[in-house]
Amino acid sequence: MHRRNFLRLCLAASTPLVFALGARSIRGETILSAPGGTASGTRLAPTPACFDDDDVTPPQAEGPYFTRNSPERTSLLEPARAGSKIVLTGLVVDTACQPIPRALVDFWQADDGGEYDNVGYWLRGHQFTDDAGGYSLETIVPGLYPGRTRHLHVKVQAPNGPVLTTQLYFPDEPRNARDGIFRPALLMEVGETAEGKAGTFNFVLDG
Ligand code: FE
């Protein structure tokens, strides 16, 4: 069974009322419903949140194509470039499920044709999480290149903390099972929206 990073509530920690009313989580939001199934219509914010799998996000190889000093930006899209859009969102939290504001999140990836820009900064960018520990990246789906399944590279660092270097993966990719680096714990949740793909992944940092 693949271990994924579904959002769920830390029920016992913060919202005892939820026990009385019952709760279910839909796409990161929590819908409260009264006993007997009558929906109250009350929506809670998606935080505080924990994860079904709140283990520390595992590290992965950096690979040969990291470039320092990427631009600070939340969109890597460039109008003249080919690619299928994806918006990736999520949280950076510690092992106690507490969000980490101002965490560095630095992405780099291959282009639609499986090539890295090792001269400029196409498909490279860093950002800092907001007060709720959230990040949002607008980019394209990376292309495939020989020997690897589809993936994003990322470095994540809490303020003054150690750097986590890892990779994120796409579900239902035929090459996942044949890629020796691939780990199910690093699968994003990916769905389709009217504007393209939407992915989620929550990073859990140690220390
Ligand atoms: Fe790569």
Q: How far is the CA of 82 from the centre of ligand 1 (A)?
A: 18
Instruction: Measure the CA dihedral 158/74/200/194, to 10°.
Output: 170
Question: Taking the complete model, does pTM exceed 0.85, yes or no?
Answer: no
Q: Are 174 and 192 in contact (CB under 8 A)?
A: no
Contacts with 82 (C-beta within 8 Å, 6 or more apart), sequence order = 111, 112, 113, 140
Query: In a 3-state reduction of DSSP, which class is residue 155?
Result: strand
Query: What is the CATH T-level fold of the domain 3-205, as seen in this structure?
Result: Protocatechuate 3,4-Dioxygenase, subunit A (2.60.130)
- The pLDDT, as a whole number, for residue 166 is 98
CA separation for the pair 185, 2 (Å, rounded): 7
CA separation for the pair 61, 40 (Å, rounded): 47
pLDDT digits (tens, 9 = 90+) for 5-55: 433 333 333 333 332 333 333 333 333 333 333 344 455 555 455 665 578
What is the residue extent of each domain of the chain? 3-205
Q: How far is the CA of 148 from the centre of ligand 1 (A)?
A: 7
Q: How far is the CA of 152 from the centre of ligand 1 (A)?
A: 7
Q: How far is the CA of 130 from the centre of ligand 1 (A)?
A: 27
What is the band of 195 on the pLDDT scale with cuts at 50, 70, 90? confident
